[in-house]
Structure 1
């Protein structure tokens, strides 16, 4: 391997150097950057890594092996790096052949590349970048010279490294590639990582420190409070949640609490209150109902307006997208074909939406043509309602804490258009956003064929309804048939 300048060093810390490490190195050797632009530094523990050595011998122009004590492998690899940029690759990763070339191109001349972060973070490095430590993927090597280099074996190590780099960075680039995979860690490991990151932030300016703490709350603390925590034994879970309470006592301001997403805000607040029974119920709740009241929107998570007397502000859901919450709580009622004459034929569909107080004009339903191979899926919340290609008649009502939506699609409107596949979708205006959701088939019996031959409904594994209109059912198909009969 020559001493020529290189574009990128890929650091792979492979402590035991087993077969998984070789698979990772093979994926790096297959990168389109290739020798001359890319080098791979594999760091393995003293006395281990024979498979890694053999792989390096087969790729002498690409792979170098460094050894050191188990607690200093990442630092040893970084000291050996020669590329303009450095990327750290988890031994469990198998990057696509063009992945590193795409990352290098996306970095341009920036000091740090954030993957999967908001586009608004690109440009001059500012406090907001500290909310996205987990997205930091590519670093200018010189930035890391004086940065503490955790070994990468614990939750939060990558974020600590990113914190040091961003504190020195002048510019940041952003790309839409996926960030590095999140390590699989127990709840108490995430709370320990949160404390280490908070401690490392003490020298930051107040605005940057608040941004970092917001990132820690939405990443490390959220991981300690997600549904996987329920799989831990009760003692470990309780210890982790009490650690979250202590973290909140030390670092959570009311402004930070307000900026948290509603489900996380409720969990953190219940942890800080030391109400672990209610917290467990909140962690287990995946589809809470919503309440629209006096221009405000609230999530009906455990503790909302019960005897606990908790503040409504904890449950406020205004100004944040709730696509997943709304989609999980929606439930189909029925789908039937109606009408006795061709001009009256309708598809009638009804469903529940998990919203109490939904206004009569807040919902519209329509059909949208699908491209070949396209499947219906929820779309990102938006500011404006979609324009349906075929609009349905809609009635709304209430059933307890649920909204009842009934829609009727006139088949005549579909038959006037070319044959194809149509998705049935609902648009819901709620809390400052418009949600565009596919409608799903009821669990019971549904008649798939309509009164007209050539019109049917179908659905896939996620049960999103598709109306299929074949040539013979359309006006054009009927005209051709009549012409054929008249010719005879």
Structure 2
């Protein structure tokens, strides 16, 4: 029997009734020239999962194979059994609760064949649950692990080249039941020669079960999560060299593993376990934590790291309690202190000499969020054409707006060239709902004269994306502008300024404002002349038409 192109691996334990849709999505694939086998391992199910697997195997001989085994206690065992029996050139790990898009396997294999990929991520879709999406903005033939957001997708639901897994000895650790997938995928990422992303096809549908039996993000045993973090650090040290790729892996592991484990569950541990966990994290921080990583952390992560490294047990518990109450809205967000052009969140022990925690742990300057709104896009006629007028407001969240200064930035999509345009203060009649009264100062208007926007010269033709810079108290933020709009705010109709035509529009998906600038149509030029000159032109053209024996030329 010839080897199939891909083996779909399903580890199944008490997966009814979701299993039926899962299996249907495999047998209904449109593989084209490729061939599929489905290898399902029943891990001692007691709810009829075993019978449903056998029914599909009987109905699809040669396509569905089933292995029955006693319960192993976790997903690693069934996956490893299937890997040992898989015959496909590729393997894809599919959870029994989830299902595939109809063209998923063919499109992912196409991507892998074209790029000689060891790993292919197909686009995730959440069904009543959230899934990672940041890495699926566009297809990527070759991913740069130093900068890619694939680190946010460490579940094993991907296409892997089987020879790559075998050569590297990649298998799931069976002695852990929490985070085994994160460990497997991290090792695969760091050893793969090529990782690709397929974003143009909905490939994997992650389903939230009614009983939430497939949701493990809660981590019932927190100490095991700390242990997984330690193993991840060891794997990163073995499979990467110091540099940007290692830093990306460490950042994901510190932020999304070790330091995040200091959650509301941490105070529920026995004190001996708490201190053991702090020692475990300190060991990893001392070995791998650098100033460069610290600068990329959030303020709570920096506080957790400092407390763990310096044995501040009581202070750590108080900070965790503060964050828990803040997130549950039983406590307001910490005050923001602006000092020397930096912003600090006044979490517990800020500038408290007894704890000795440095200000840098509270620094949120890089985390500040911009709040803005587009109120109107208006085309205003002037003698020689027109100008585009924008009205709105911009502020920095949680920072009082004093001495406001906003600035529009137009960025040419083709080459990244930027044009900065000043705005004029236009105080809001009332502060925005929920904002402090001084936020009335955040209002602005701006007029864009296309004929003079580029240092007195016409704006080059192309698509210009609109950004808004906001500055106050020595702080600054910037982001794309227009996604949040006032009720009834619509894009202005196109207009002309000199020899340029501009069409404002909102981008698909995010709804941000962009300007499409093109050459003005010659046939419409007379409409921009003064009325006296237009009448003279028509009289002359009309007379010329009669002399040539044709019809008089009227309005265009």
Aligned counterpart for 1:121 among listed residues 140, 145, 150: 145
- Number of the residue aligned with 2:469: 427
Inter-CA distance 280–187: structure 2 relative to 1 (3 Å threshold): farther
> Is 1:80 paired with 2:67?
no
| Deviations, residues 365-400 of structure 1 (Å, cap 9, x unaligned) | 26899xxxxxxxxx9xxx978447xx4524599x99
1:334 touches 1:442 (CA, 8 Å); kept in 2? yes
- Number of the residue aligned with 1:139: 160
1:31-430 correspondence to structure 2 within 5 Å: 31-33=29-31, 37-46=35-44, 48-71=49-72, 72-107=77-112, 108-113=115-120, 116=135, 119-121=143-145, 134=154, 137-145=158-166, 146-150=169-173, 154-162=177-185, 165=188, 169=191, 171-177=192-198, 183-189=215-221, 192-199=224-231, 202=234, 205=237, 208=240, 211=246, 213-221=250-258, 224=261, 235=268, 245-253=278-286, 256=289, 258=291, 259-260=293-294, 261-263=296-298, 265-266=301-302, 268-269=304-305, 272=308, 273-274=312-313, 275-282=316-323, 284=326, 297-300=342-345, 302-303=347-348, 305-307=350-352, 309-316=356-363, 322=367, 325-327=368-370, 330=371, 347-354=390-397, 363-365=406-408, 386-387=418-419, 391=421, 393-395=423-425, 405-410=442-447, 425-428=467-470
User: Number of matched residues?
Assistant: 448
- Number of the residue aligned with 1:19: 17
CA distance in 2, matches of 1:97, 1:347: 45
Cα drift, residue 257 of structure 1: 5.6
Inter-CA distance 361–7: structure 2 relative to 1 (3 Å threshold): farther
Cα drift, residue 45 of structure 1: 2.7
Cα drift, residue 186 of structure 1: 1.1
TM-score, normalising length: structure 2: 0.59
| SS across alignment from 1:436 | strand
Between structure 1 and structure 2, the one with the greater Rg is 2
1:27 touches 1:97 (CA, 8 Å); kept in 2? yes
| SS across alignment from 2:7 | strand
| Deviations, residues 152-193 of structure 1 (Å, cap 9, x unaligned) | 9943111233355567x4x42222347986954214546523
| SS across alignment from 1:53 | helix
CA distance in 2, matches of 1:304, 1:478: 68
CA distance in 1, matches of 2:465, 2:34: 50
Q: Which runs of 5+ in 1 are unaligned?
A: 123-127, 370-378, 451-456, 469-474
Cα drift, residue 194 of structure 1: 4.0
CA distance in 2, matches of 1:199, 1:236: 21
Provide the aligned C-alpha RMSD in A: 6.1
CA distance in 1, matches of 2:400, 2:302: 22
Q: Which runs of 5+ in 2 are unaligned?
A: 123-134, 207-213, 428-435, 452-457, 493-503, 516-523, 539-553
